[in-house]
Amino acid sequence: MELTGAQIIIECLKEQGVDTVFGYPGGTILNVYDELYKHSDEITHILTSHEQGAAHAADGYARATGKVGVCMATSGPGATNLVTGIATAYMDSIPVVAITCNVGVSLLGKDSFQEVDIKGVTMPITKHNFIVKDVTKLADTIRRSFYIAQSGRPGPVHIDIPKDITALKTEYEYQKPEEIHPQTDEIREEDLDKAVQLIARSERPFVFVGGGAVLSGASEELKQFVDKIQAPVADSLMGKGAYDGRSQNYTGMLGMHGTKTSNFGVTECDLLIVIGARFSDRVIGNSSTFAKNAKKIHIDVDAAEINKNIQCDCSIIGDAKVILRKLNARIEPLDHTDWLNHIYSLKQTYPMTYHKDVLTGPGVVEKIYAMTGGDAIIATEVGQNQMWAAQFFKYDRPRRLITSGGLGTMGFGLGAAIGAKLGCPNQLVFNIAGDGCFRMNMNELATASRYNIPVIEVILNNHVLGMVRQWQTLFYDQRYSNTILNDKVDYVKVAEALGARGIRVTSNEELGPALKEAMESDGPVVIECVIDCDDKVWPMVAPGASISEAFAEEDMQNGK
């Protein structure tokens, strides 16, 4: 049948099973929005307060569900407002399809009103991008974009469509989406054999899990692998929930704000098995001393990550779930009781602690965990709030922590929480925020109110940019340059003005009732938790130091 470009866009979204789109209309994309209006019973469109919020919501939807998130914007500033959200998804390998419309083909390159070369802008921050100047190629481009976003190492894809292409007509025929298969072409038998040999010879193996294990759905295979080789497990921020955070073998996060148990254990191990992680600088610290006594096995779907930051002794390229299944079939059960007992003793010696006599960030997160039993999706902003959410909530399954890891995007969490809640409507969804981050995109609270989306926004209000202040305290002789936010903003009134319920909490005694009220609400709630401006994230590794040099508050008090 013959359809316009705008109609083809909608039909292709329906082909791909898209049920929710986040966006903001404008002149060049009006034809598409006109068709969305006609198909509102099949595709729900969420009008965000800002295009960046749309990109973050699509990202959060994708992280929580495992499906492709979709966002839309018009040309010029509409398109450029998506850029931070696209880059956030790119850094964390999240499947998002961003659709923008541009000025007509004849006006491209002429500095037309609201014209930007958005394809050029997004090229470095997308897995692939397109500009469609021929309506006959539109459907296939959209289909290819969804395939690229999901296959191999996932990532965002951007499609730019000139306005006249959305009005032109061409033949359209329904196509069933191409099936996504795990990437296995580069899994080599000799690599598997070498890994098995290294594992068999090891006396002190340690498993480090990253976001790739979450994306590949490898949790069950990972558990079998860990049980078989009897190894402790640490994770990255992106790897949370791939391995059960309540397990005795779990040691916590690795790196700059990782536990001492993880940092010391990796330093002492003789074999480090890395699954779906990219050796971020925040994880490895000083690269020359990172796990220097260990052989290293790196399992990753992206060959470009192999030996990029850390040289490895063995690499297996391909889907982590498939690789672990193959390794599990080849490995004999091993006994590392003495090594595990040593790790357990480290956990006893270096527990995660905080001041429980006053309201603190860690205490708030632990209370949320206790009151939900861990059955909640936790979105975060970036900084201290993010680290506390990673450290003090036990993630027992994947896709429960929704956070900007690679890019570290302040203002990410609220939009992402909205997307996660729409993708998983039966789950409690919290966004843990600092007051600085909340200011970045607090306008999305109006989005939650407009659609009565019951997300719970928890603001850890220390009246400062907490993580930056922490660095200024420790490394800049307490020169607090532009990090103090002790002004007249009333977040409870802001919440109420934007249509949400606002609650202020200043003590531990007030926290439980406030959380109970929020969890029972059928609309958005903001809980402002007023904490001390000098609460810090512990442990910490100084920039450029070895992870074995992790220090905590008690170390500073003891002059270490």
Question: Tens of pLDDT along 349-369?
Answer: 999 999 999 999 999 999 999
Closest C-alpha to 442, from 485, 486, 493: 493
268: exposed, middle or buried (Cβ count in 10 Å: 0-12, 13-18, 19+)? middle
- Report, at the CATH architecture level, how domain 361-541 is classified: 3-Layer(aba) Sandwich (3.40)
State the pLDDT confidence band at 467, using cuts at 50, 70 and 90: very high
- Domain at 2-171, CATH class: alpha beta
Judge if 2-171 and 189-349 fold alike in CATH terms: yes
CATH of 189-349, one of 3.20.10.10, 3.40.50.2300, 3.40.50.1220, 3.40.50.300: 3.40.50.1220
pLDDT of residue 557: 80
Q: Are 434 and 384 in contact (CB under 8 A)?
A: yes
Contacts of 75 (CB under 8 A, 6+ apart): 26, 27, 28, 29, 100, 101, 102, 103, 114, 115, 116, 118, 163
Q: CA gyration radius for the chain?
A: 24
Q: How far is CA 138 from CA 6, 17, 39, 142, 155, in A?
A: 10, 18, 19, 6, 20
Closest C-alpha to 523, from 492, 504, 505, 496: 496
- Taking 90 as the threshold, does the pLDDT of residue 314 lie above it? yes
Q: Can you tell me the distance from the alpha carbon of 225 to that of 211, in angstroms, rounded to the nearest whole number?
A: 17
Q: Are 57 and 415 in contact (CB under 8 A)?
A: yes
Q: How far is CA 363 from CA 296, 463, 535, in A?
A: 36, 18, 11
pLDDT of residue 292: 94
pLDDT of residue 558: 78
131-142 mean pLDDT: 98
| pTM exceeding 0.95 | yes
All structural domains of the chain with their residue ranges: 2-171, 189-349, 361-541
pLDDT of residue 555: 86
Chain segment 107-116, per-residue pLDDT in tens: 889 889 999 9
- Taking 70 as the threshold, does the pLDDT of residue 560 lie above it? no
Which tokens sit at 36?
A: 């969305």
- Catalytic annotation, residues: 51, 113-114, 163, 467
Which tokens sit at 92?
A: 């964390």
* 493, 369, 518, 381: CA torsion to nearest 10: 40
Peptide bond into 177 cis (omega under 30): no
pLDDT of residue 559: 67
Report, in this order, helix, strand and coil percent for the chain, each rounded to 5.
40, 15, 40
Which tokens sit at 401?
A: 């922590």
Chain segment 61-108, per-residue pLDDT in tens: 999 999 999 999 999 999 999 999 999 999 999 999 999 999 998 988
Which conformational region is residue 204 in: left (phi greater than 0), alpha (psi within -120 to 50 degrees), or beta? beta
- Taking 90 as the threshold, does the pLDDT of residue 556 lie above it? no
| β partners of residue 159 | 99, 130
